[in-house]
Amino acid sequence: MKITGVETFLVAPRWLFLKVSTDEGISGWGEPVVEGRAETVRAAVHELSELLIGQDPLRIEDHWQVLRRGGFYRGGPVLSSALAGFDHALWDIAGKVRNAPVHELLGGPVRDRIRVYSWVGGDRPSGIREAVSAQVEAGFTAVKMNVAGPLTAIASPADVTAAIARAWEAREVLGPHRDLAIDFHGRVSPAMARRLVKLLEDVQPMFVEEPVLPETQGDALRSVVEASTVPIAVGERLYSRWEFKPVLDAGVAVVQPDPSHAGGISELRRIGALAEMYGASLAPHCPLGPISLAASMQVAFATPNFLIQEQSVGMHYHEGHEHAYLTDPSVFAFQDGYAARPLGPGLGIEVDEAAVRRADEVGHAWRSPVWRHEDGGLAEW
C-alpha cells in the first residue's frame, strides 16, 4: 500500500480537514488546524506531504518521526498541527486496514464510556444560570466556563467579585454532585491568578485551566499551583511531551494537549503516559471539529489516567456545524454526560466527503478576536 494523494479542505466555521489517499482505495481523515491560522497550516501540510507521497501509510511512528524531525526547525503550533492531521489520517487508515477502531490498536479499551463536558457562557460570560441549567437538562454532569472577559494585570475588586459570583451561580445550579471547570484562558496575570484561585476554593472547581500564559509557565505557574488547593490544568498551547514536562514538574494536576495541535494521536498517548508518572490526569483540549473529537476519543478510551473529554457541540461559534460533515453523527450522541465507545474502524466516523468538498468551495477566514483594554492597550483574548 502506498500514499498517493493529500488534499486539504477549508470548512466552516473555522476548521481544516485533511484527506490522505492510497493506491488501494483506503483513505484516512485528519484535522490539522490552528484556530485563526488555517491557511498557514494548510500550506505546512502540503509542504510536509512531499515526505509522504509514495510511502507505506502503516509505518505511522516512522512517519511521525520524519515529519517532526526531518526539518532542522521543528515544533511550534503550525508544524505540530500539520503533523497532528497526518497522524490522525494514518491511524484512520491503519484501523480501516485492520477493521478495528484505533483504540484497539492502542492496546484496547480501559473503560466502557468516557465522560464529556460542555461549554457555557461564551468569551464574555453572561447568562450563566440559564446556560448551566440547559446543560444539566441535557444530561451533562460537568460544564466549563470562562472566568471573565478581558482583565487588567491587577483587576479591580468589582471585576474579581463579578468573576467569583459567576462561578457561584454555576455551582448553585450544578449542586454538589456535578462538576464545574473554570478557564482563565491566559487572560489573568500571575498575581491575579493566585488571588482568584484562592477565592475559588469554596466553589470547588474540578480544575482551573490555563491560569497564566504559556510563556510564563515556569515559576509563575508553580506559584499558582501552590497558592491554593484548586487543581490546575494546562496544555492547550503546548505542543509536545517535552513542553509538558516542565508544567508537570510545577505540579499541575491535569494536562490538556489538543489532538489537532500536539502531534496527534501518537503524541497525546505519550503525553498521557508522561502525566501518569506524575499522578496527573489527561483531559484533552478539543474545541474543534468532528475529526479532532473522534481522534481524541480514541485516545481517551485507551488511556488509564483519562479524566474527562472536552467537546464543542453547541459551542457559541460552532453551532449548526458540528454534524454537518458526517454521514452518521450518532457517535457523538452523548447520554447522561458520557460518550459510548465507538466501534467503527479507524477513527470511528464516516466523513461526508461531498459535504466537505462543497464547504471548501466557500471556505472561511475565521480569526481570533482582538481585544483592547479601556486605555487602548492590547488585552489577552
Distance CA 15, CA 202 (A): 38
- The owner of cell 478539543 is 286
Strand partners, 180: 143
- Catalytic choice (103, 285, 318, 321): 285
**β-bridge partners, 39:** none
323 is a catalytic site residue: no
The DSSP symbol for 267 reads: H
Among residues 63, 88, 103, 185, the one annotated as catalytic is 185
Whether 185 sits among the annotated catalytic residues: the reply is yes
Long-range contacts of 71-77, Cβ-Cβ distance < 8 Å, separation of 24 or more: 75/239, 75/240, 76/239, 77/34, 77/37, 77/237, 77/239, 77/261
Record the cell numbers describing residue 75, joined without a space. 515544533
Give the DSSP per-residue string, 112-149: SEEEEEEEESTTTT--HHHHHHHHHHTT-SEEEEES-S
Distance CA 297, CA 204 (A): 26
Residues annotated catalytic, as ranges: 185, 285
